[in-house]
């Protein structure tokens, strides 16, 4: 089939649903409850969510985008995405993980467009080659549009990462994809090493494609208690009773990820699972920590000394591999290596690239101490 | 002689001359050209120069204090020391090191009080026991008031420091002091080790006592070109021609320290030198760097983890021996040891306790780049 025909055809039915409820504590002190990672411009001038919407806009028209977020972030997201209508930004009364979030979108869309194909997207990832990204998505949309197919985008692992779920891929499918044999939760180091060596394992990117019909059917099968609640909320969408219904029923939904609720059990069905993995060879980074951000930028700009310092003027001496964010200050770095230092209006973080993942512990401490202004 | 009689007697003739022209670049970014180290409150609520004046005020009345500084600092010093008259704060048109500075004060004082006893004091040192300090000074004032005696306060060395000049002491004098055998410039490490082992070497504290007559005579002998210039400037002091004379003649004075100009040559005269060293056993620290400041405060407060962090709230995890100054911020320190991090309104310094002495290089860089606002 001609690619352009697929594009035009699928654009009409393709609905990007962007999950933007994450708190992203690992970018503290830059990220806060009301300014989560997806609302930060960590890679370029646009924020992560603005980039996510922009790169998908060639595949769908703006009125078909949906953002699922929380009440803390709703206002800032609306500000950052003025081209979206208010009703396209849905704020959960409380977080119930990804299954109810994407499920609600599916039940809403099914009512207005029985042929809707939904793409589920994280709001805070970096994509390298956007043309390749859209090519993969177009293939995925075509697959998801037929039958009960579910498509997941898989990332070729480059290290034995224990922080991601993995996809075990099986026989080839349709030239560029593979059938999914199994979804696997985050492995320990030993298993992660095995996966890396085996060659047929992919990181689960969190990007899925399916029709609204397929997804709602799957939810009815795998989450029989939650699916009717979501259906009721969806029925109230657009009416004066939506908010009250949403706030009443959503907390009763199971707090579960779509991976765990649907994809893992489905993958056990063998060939009948209709689960397909498309390798996402377009350059991907989920920027999971200050360290990951540092590595991403070093990869792009390749400074000889590995220092990435934002400031009003910089002086370095005997200093390598440091990440310093202090955009309003003159920054002098003398005799230190591999530090992460981040300064904001009200906070100063000093840590190392190795320990930057522990930043979440600071936020936990601040939560416990009820230092609300700092979280 | 009764101590109180000495005190009353000497207080009338004792003139503290505080040298406050130093730039103190080693406390960048807190110290700046117009806010040098002596104008910072590095140890307590008062600034270093305020503390210096306060602790000497029990030995002399305020109108007998003299401050020698530079034009960049004059205004702020006057602001910090409102009890001093404007004419008591003399701003050099350019720095000529300590010999012309203390010499000018001596020539001025000789004209109004031929029996004046002058104490020369740095403006930026920490004194532990102020009562002991004044006891030593009172003894020194009594010695300096008679004959051609010169008294220097010597610090018992506690390490093989190569950053200070040393005094070699000889036979005992007057119960508590020793004759000075030799002034020695900053030694190399090997010699500093020898001095430390020998036991009869003291650090030169930069605190001297002498009569105005003794000092002016010594300057006439050892700096025969400079002494008449200082005498001319002193003659104009208090007249409408003072500033023009000062600005014209002072730059022609030799740029030389009093140690090198007078004390070292004088120490070669043997017993005729009349040079006496009083051991300064009152707790002394010249706070020569961020590292020295950190050690001084750790010594006083003895925190278990060796961290000294000023901030609006603090969180530490796996962190030891760090000095962080960020008084307006919440400070989180995770997984780092022995760092020095100093944040001001316009600058951020990140270095280690070992390398903090290199901070002067940053100021040199800023000078070269003409980043005047930052120096």
- Give pLDDT tens digits for B162-213: 989 999 999 998 778 999 999 988 999 999 999 999 999 999 999 999 999 9
3-state secondary structure of A49: helix
- Residue appearing with tokens 């609600």: A104
Question: What pLDDT does residue B6 have?
Answer: 45
Same domain, A122 and A246: yes
Nearest-CB residue to A371 (from B313, B358, B371):
B313
Categorize the per-residue pLDDT at B4 as very low, low, confident or very high, splitting at 50, 70 and 90.
Answer: very low
Is B358–A311 a contact, with Cβ atoms under 8 angstroms apart? no
Q: What is the pLDDT of residues A107-118, one digit of tens each?
A: 999 999 999 999
Confirm if B317 and A300 have CB atoms less than 8 A apart: no
Enter the tokens of residue A162: 């224990």
From B285, B308, B340, the end of a domain falls on: B285
Going by pLDDT thresholds of 50, 70 and 90, the confidence category of residue B2 is very low
Of B317, B344, B348, the CB nearest to A358: B317
3-state secondary structure of B96: coil
Stated pTM of the model = 0.89
Look at residue B305 and give its three-state secondary structure: coil
Strand spans (E) along chain B: 14-19, 66-70, 89-92, 117-122, 126-127, 150-155, 166-173, 177-184, 201-211, 275-279, 284-285, 308-311, 314-317, 323-326, 330-334, 339-343, 347-352
Residue B270 — pLDDT band, cuts 50, 70, 90? confident
Residues B83/B46, Cβ–Cβ less than 8 Å: no
Q: Which of A49, A50, A45, A25 is nearest to A290 (CA)?
A: A25
- Interface ipTM: 0.89
Bridge partners of residue A182, in order along the sequence:
A168
CA atoms of A30 and A40, how far apart (whole Å): 8
> Residues 6 or more apart from A274 whose CB is under 8 A from it?
A147, A148, A149, A150
- Check B341 against A341: CB less than 8 A apart: yes
Contact between B118 and B209 under an 8 Å Cβ cutoff? The reply is yes
Among A28, A307, A335, the strongest candidate for a mutation testing the B interface, having the largest count of B CBs within 10 A, is: A335
Distances (CA, A) of A226 to A96, A220, A254, A304: 11, 8, 6, 53
Same-domain pairing of A313 and A263:
no
Confidence (pLDDT) at A302:
84
Q: Which among A328, A334, A362 is the nearest to B332, CB-wise?
A: A362
Q: Which residues of B touch A29 (CB under 8 A)?
A: 330, 332
pLDDT tens digits, one per residue of A285-307: 999 999 999 999 998 888 999 99
The whole-chain average pLDDT of chain B stands at: 93
Tell me, what's the pLDDT at A12? 61
Which residues of chain A are within 8 Å of residue B374 when distances are taken between CB atoms? 313, 330
Residues A8 and A56 in one domain: yes
Across the interface, of A315, A344, A362, the residue whose CB is closest to B365 is A315
Q: Which residue has the tokens 């040298």?
A: B19
Query: How far is the CA of B151 from the CAs of A321, B80, B99, B173, B226, in angstroms?
Result: 52, 29, 16, 12, 23
Distance in angstroms (rounded) separating the CA atoms of residues B163 and B160: 9
Where does a domain end: B235, B254, B285?
A: B285
pLDDT at B5: 40
Per DSSP bridges, beta strands A66-70 and A14-19 are: parallel
Based on the fold, state whether residues B228 and B343 are members of the same structural domain: no
CB B111 within 8 A of CB B234: yes
pLDDT at residue number B12: 61
**Interatomic CA distance for residues B66 and B49, integer angstroms:** 12
- Position A10 scores a pLDDT of 44
Over residues A106-154, the pLDDT tens digits come to: 999 999 999 999 999 999 999 999 999 999 999 999 999 988 999 999 9
User: What pLDDT sits at residue B59?
Assistant: 96
CA B63 to CA B214: how far, in whole Å?
22
Closest to A29 in 3D by CA, of B313, B134, B73, B48? B313
What's the total number of domains in chain B? 2
The CA distance from A69 to the nearest CA of chain B, in Å, is 28
- Asked which of A230, A261, A285 is the last residue of a domain, the reply is A285
CB contact under 8 A, B333 and A351: yes
pLDDT digits (tens, 9 = 90+) for A163-214: 899 999 999 987 789 999 999 889 999 999 999 999 999 999 999 999 999 9
Is the predicted pLDDT of residue A1 greater than 60, yes or no?
no
* B223 and B368 part of one domain: no
Angle at B299 between CA B296 and CA B301, to 5 degrees: 110
| DSSP code, position B263 | I
CA distance B361 to chain A (A): 9
Phi, psi for residue B141 in degrees, rounded to 5: -60, -40
**How many pairs of residues across A and B have Cβ atoms under 8 Å apart?**
134
- pLDDT grade, residue A4 (50/70/90)? very low
pLDDT at residue B292, rounded to an integer:
92
CATH no. for residue B162?
3.90.550.10
Separation between Cα atoms, residue A56 and residue A70, nearest integer Å: 22
Contact residues, chain A, for B317 at CB < 8 Å: 358, 361-362
Do B330 and B234 lie in a common domain? no
Q: Are residues B89 and B124 in the same domain?
A: yes
Cα separation, B168 vs B201, in Å, equals 5
Would the pLDDT of B7 be above 70? no
What is the average pLDDT across B135-150?
A: 94
Residue B243 makes CB contacts below 8 A (sequence gap 6+) with none
pLDDT one-digit tens code per residue, B103-114: 999 999 999 999
Dist. CA A211–CA A13, nearest whole Å: 9
Task: Calculate the CA A53 to chain-centre distance.
Answer: 12
- Do A260 and A304 lie in one domain? The reply is no
Q: Is B24 helix (H, G, I), strand (E, B) or coil?
A: coil
Cβ distance B351 to A334 less than 8 Å, yes or no, reads yes
Residue B345: CB atoms within 10 A of its CB come to: 8
- Beta carbons of A326 and B348 less than 8 Å apart: yes
| Contact assessment for residue B261 and residue B99, using Cβ atoms and an 8 Å cutoff | yes
Peptide bond into A273 cis (omega under 30): no
The predicted-structure confidence for A13-39, as pLDDT tens digits, reads as follows 999 999 999 887 899 999 999 999 999
Length of chain B counted residue by residue: 375
- Asked if residue B258 and residue B206 are part of one domain, the reply reads yes
- Asked if A324 lies within 8 A of B350 by C-beta distance, the reply is yes
Q: What is the C-alpha separation between A207 and B156, in angstroms, rounded?
A: 71
Bridge partners for A337 per DSSP: A320
- Sequence-distant (6+) residues with CB within 8 A of A338 are A320, A321, A322, A352, A353, A354
Query: Which residue do the tokens 């620290």 mark?
Result: B285
Structure tokens that stand for B240 in this block: 């409408």
If residue B294 lies in a helix (H) or strand (E), which one and from where to where?
Answer: helix B290-301
Same domain for B138 and B60, yes or no, is yes
State which residues form the domain around B8.
3-285
**What local confidence, expressed as pLDDT, does residue A280 receive?**
93
What are A350's two structure tokens? 């000093």
Same domain, B369 and B342: yes
The three-state (H, E, C) secondary structure of A203-232, written as one string: EEEEEEEEEHHHHHHHHHHHCCCHHHHHHH
Chain A residues lying within 8 Å of B329, measured CB to CB: 343-344, 346-348
The residues near A28 (Cβ < 8 Å, ≥ 6 apart) are A347, A349, A359, A360, A362, A363, A375, B332
* Span A238-291, pLDDT tens digits: 999 999 999 999 999 999 999 999 999 999 888 888 999 999 999 999 999 999
Q: Which residue of B has its CA nearest to A334?
A: B351
Same domain, B278 and B222: yes
Mean pLDDT of chain A: 93
Percentages helix, strand, coil for chain B (3-state, rounded to 5) are: 40, 25, 35
């Amino acid at each position: 089939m001609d690619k352009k025909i697929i594009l035009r055809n699928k654009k009409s039915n393709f609905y990007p649903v962007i999950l933007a409820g994450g708190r992203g504590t690992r970018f503290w002190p830059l990220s806060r409850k009301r300014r989560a990672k997806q609302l930060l411009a960590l890679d370029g001038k646009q924020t992560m969510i603005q980039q996510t919407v922009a790169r998908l806009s060639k595949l769908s028209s703006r009125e078909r985008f949906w953002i699922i977020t929380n009440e803390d972030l709703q206002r800032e997201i609306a500000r950052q995405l003025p081209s979206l209508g208010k009703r396209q930004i849905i704020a959960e009364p409380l977080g119930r993980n990804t299954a109810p979030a994407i499920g609600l979108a599916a039940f809403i869309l099914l009512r207005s467009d029985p042929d809707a194909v939904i793409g589920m997207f994280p709001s805070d990832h970096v994509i390298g080659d956007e043309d390749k990204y859209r090519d993969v998505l177009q293939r995925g949309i075509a697959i998801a549009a037929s039958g009960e197919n579910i498509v997941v985008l898989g990332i070729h692992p480059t290290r034995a990462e224990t922080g991601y779920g993995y996809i075990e891929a099986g026989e080839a499918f349709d030239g560029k994809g593979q059938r999914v044999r199994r979804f696997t939760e985050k492995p320990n180091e030993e298993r992660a090493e095995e996966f890396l060596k085996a060659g047929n394992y992919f990181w689960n990117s969190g990007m899925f494609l399916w029709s609204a019909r397929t997804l709602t059917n799957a939810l009815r099968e795998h989450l029989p208690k939650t699916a009717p609640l979501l259906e009721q909320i969806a029925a109230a969408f657009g009416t004066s009773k939506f908010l009250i219904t949403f706030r009443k029923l959503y907390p009763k939904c199971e707090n579960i990820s779509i991976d765990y609720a649907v994809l893992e059990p489905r993958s056990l069905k063998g060939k009948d699972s209709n689960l397909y993995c498309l390798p996402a060879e377009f350059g991907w980074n989920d920027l999971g920590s200050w360290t990951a951000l540092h590595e991403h930028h070093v990869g792009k700009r390749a400074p000889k000394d590995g220092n990435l310092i934002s400031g009003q003027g910089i002086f370095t001496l005997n200093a390598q591999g440091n990440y310093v964010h202090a955009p309003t200050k003159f920054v002098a770095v003398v005799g230190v290596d591999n530090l992460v230092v981040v300064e904001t209006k009200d906070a100063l973080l000093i840590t190392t690239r190795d320990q930057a993942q522990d930043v979440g512990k600071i936020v936990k401490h601040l939560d416990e101490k009820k230092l609300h202004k700092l979280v």
